[in-house]
Amino acid sequence: MYVIVEDDYIARVPPDKLSGDYESSVLDVAKSSIEGKLLDVVDDSSSVKKCFIVSVTEISMVGEGSIVHGDGGVYQTIHYKALGYEPNLQEVVEGIVVSVQKFGAFVRFGPFDGLLHISQIMDDRIDLDLNNQRFIGKDTKRDLKINDKVRVRIVAMNLSSSSLEDSKIGLTMKQTGLGKLEWLVQKKNEA
């Protein structure tokens, strides 16, 4: 889910950025260091969660910067407010199928890609048609292919603090109210 994040961060301003306006240099460096990163963020209950920072909305400097012996940069503490995306276990999300592999499909939701294992697609025996990049149910004849919009539940998560590529998210569509959006509309019209 999308959340507003408020936290502190220590930004390193390199020596080549110190010749101009210090405050604007700090703001530029801080914004480029935080946006697009998966960071540990402390929430209201003082627990640490992983959050992908989509966009920084406010930055303010806290105190004066520090210089470390042997390093030409300045370390400046900042306080920031940002829009972040925080996936939660058991959360239902909508996404789009971006890749079909023999073991399952990858679904993009927000800034994350999650794996929808072949066993979690539908309650039907499944054939794989790699030439056409799709899965087909043997009995239902339903198919799942690239660019299909789906509603899935997050059932497993291992978020790495280093990058989105190292993060692992497992998804399912085998519960009531989940599946390809087209299937859900058909089911609703049949009822």
Tell me: the pLDDT tens digits for 100-148?
A: 999 999 999 988 999 999 999 998 899 998 889 999 999 989 999 999 9
The phi and psi torsions of 33 (rounded to 5 degrees) equal -80, -25
**pLDDT tens digits for range 50-62:** 889 999 999 999 9
Q: Outline which parts of the chain fall under CATH 2.40.50.140.
A: 92-190
Range(s) for CATH 3.30.1490.120 in the chain? 2-85
CB 14 within 8 A of CB 28: no
CATH number of 2-85: 3.30.1490.120
Fold (CATH) for 92-190: OB fold (Dihydrolipoamide Acetyltransferase, E2P) (2.40.50)
- The answer to whether 59 touches 66, Cβ cutoff 8 Å, is no
CA separation for the pair 114, 21 (Å, rounded): 42
> What is the pTM for the complete model shown?
0.79
- Phi and psi at 31, nearest 5°, equal -65, -45
Report whether pLDDT(42) > 70: yes
Of the pLDDT bands very low, low, confident and very high (cuts 50, 70, 90), residue 162 is low
164, two tokens: 């989105």
